[in-house]
Amino acid sequence: MTEVLRRGRASLAFSFFAQGAAFALLVTRIPAIQNRYGVSDGLLPVFLAAVPVLAGVGSVTTEQLVKRIPPSVLLRWSQPVVLLALLGVGAGHGMAQLGAALAVFGLAVGALDASMNMLGVSLQRAYGRSIMLSFHAVYSLGGIVGASLAWAGAHWHLALWVSYLPVVAVLLPAALVGSRWYVDGGTAAAGAGTGGVDGGSADGGPVDGGAGSGAPGVVFKVLLPLCLVMTFAYIGDSTVSNWSAKYLQDVLGSSEQLATVPYNVYMVTTLAGRAIGDFGVRRFGAAAVVRLGALVAAAGFAVVAFAPGAWVGMFGFTLVGLGLCVLVPQTFAAAGRLFPGASDAAIARLNIFNYVGFLIGSPLVGAMGDAWSYRGAMVVPMVLVLVTLVYARSFAAQPDRYGGGHERPRTADVGRGSNGL
């Protein structure tokens, strides 16, 4: 069964990659979308806010659907819908069509994000060691590729649908083919036997059979600390994505060209941090990695807030990326540890706070910047990220070390498959 798990891991990794690329292609072409449909500056925030709101609805709906439908089935069909909705955003001709395409995109993204992470957590349990960060690293890689393709489309003045069509034409059939090898919680448990493919579960607990296993449900009071961490992480993330360019140009006096660099650097450092993060979790445990990530991210925001110039500010955003990148994947993994018999439901509920943070972050920093100063506004995500330290114990609710403080010895490293993750 280890071959089944390897294929499941590779196919799920591609799903993360495709979603990262699709989301980047949408958000990095917002000015072009606004121009194509003639959306006013006053109406644009309404369209943009509708996507995470509907994504939250999609995530709530997914929590109910997985009681009857395996997450792999939801992922198999929600990903093509996301890609087709992206194409619809680029090919429409009126604001009604734009609204419909964004609505479908948002609802499908909620189901997609939730089901992807459900499968990731169940695979991690079967592998018996931390692999969640590798999935999110591939998502970051997809985001970099998508943003690069968006830049090319803007550089060559391509119509939106011309930019989107080749990407959808490649990713959609590939995702459908890859979906044949998705591994649900029950299948992962069978592949893991009684103790994971490495001899135990990823958290030292029982292998998860999914939300429908008949185990006790999710206690929201127990899940709440992770919900707060997820919200704070996305407030920090949205601060970088929405305000880094403006901050460098207006506050630190950089050129317009240099102001575009911080987000690209942030994405690259996010990829790098996630690529090596699983090794840190295996060696030191999830709680220690989360504490270090929170401290590094907070230090990055402090550097940004007090930076004397643009280059120091860019260094601060780099630190933010290195710190924040570990929080979200480990928050999903921690939900699986806290609720080993109802992880699907816990992840669907937790995923909602992804969108809550995204909705709050940008307006919060903007309001603080207008009312006080943008330097002072950077202190807000810094403080919120530091609050994560209070909840770090939730990331080690069950043992998450393998062996005597390091990864458990094993006869075969099933993580070194042809997918390279």
Q: What is the pLDDT of residues 181-239, one digit of tens each?
A: 999 976 665 555 544 554 444 443 333 444 443 345 788 889 999 999 999 999 999 99
99-135 pLDDT per residue, tens: 999 999 999 999 999 999 999 999 999 999 999 999 9
Token pair recorded at residue 72 = 């792999």
29-67 CB burial, b ≥16 within 10 A, e <16:
beebbbebbebeeeeeeebbbebbbbbbbbbbbbbebbe
For domain 220-396, the CATH architecture is: Up-down Bundle (1.20)
CA 153/CA 30 separation, integer angstroms: 13
CATH class of 2-200: mainly alpha
247 DSSP assignment: I
Q: What is the pLDDT of residue 210?
A: 44
| CB contact at 8 A, 277 and 289 | yes
| CB contact at 8 A, 291 and 318 | no
CA 152/CA 164 separation, integer angstroms: 11
CA 239/CA 378 separation, integer angstroms: 8
Mean pLDDT in the chain? Answer: 86
Report the phi/psi class of residue 193: left, alpha or beta, with left for phi > 0 and alpha for psi in -120 to 50: left
| The amino acid at 40 | S
Could you identify the residue written with the tokens 């979603």?
Answer: 19
Could you identify the residue written with the tokens 């929201």?
Answer: 220
Q: Is the pTM of this model over 0.75?
A: yes
- pLDDT band (50, 70, 90) for residue 341: confident
Could you identify the residue written with the tokens 């997918």?
Answer: 419
Alpha-helix runs per DSSP H in 28-94: 30-37, 44-65, 71-91
Same CATH fold assignment for domains 2-200 and 220-396: yes
Q: Which has the closest alpha carbon to 2: 153, 192, 204?
A: 192
Residues 6+ away with beta carbon under 8 Å from 315: 303, 307
| The amino acid at 107 | L
**CA angle, corner 378, sides to 288 and 139, nearest 5?**
55
CA 156/CA 142 separation, integer angstroms: 21
Helix, strand and coil in the chain, % to nearest 5: 75, 0, 25
CA 236/CA 222 separation, integer angstroms: 23
Could you identify the residue written with the tokens 């592998």?
Answer: 127
Token pair recorded at residue 260 = 């575009």
CA 8/CA 334 separation, integer angstroms: 21
Percent of the chain with pLDDT over 70: 86
CA 222/CA 338 separation, integer angstroms: 8
Percent of the chain with pLDDT over 90: 64
Per the model's pLDDT, the better-predicted residue between 8 and 192 turns out to be 8
Q: What is the pLDDT of residue 213?
A: 38
Residues 6+ away with beta carbon under 8 Å from 182: 8, 11, 12, 15, 72, 75, 76, 119
Q: Which has the closest alpha carbon to 59: 385, 337, 354?
A: 354
Indicate the domain borders of the chain.
Answer: 2-200, 220-396
Least confident of 156-160, 216-220, 236-240, 404-408: 404-408
Q: What is the pLDDT of residue 249?
A: 85
Average pLDDT over residues 304-313: 94
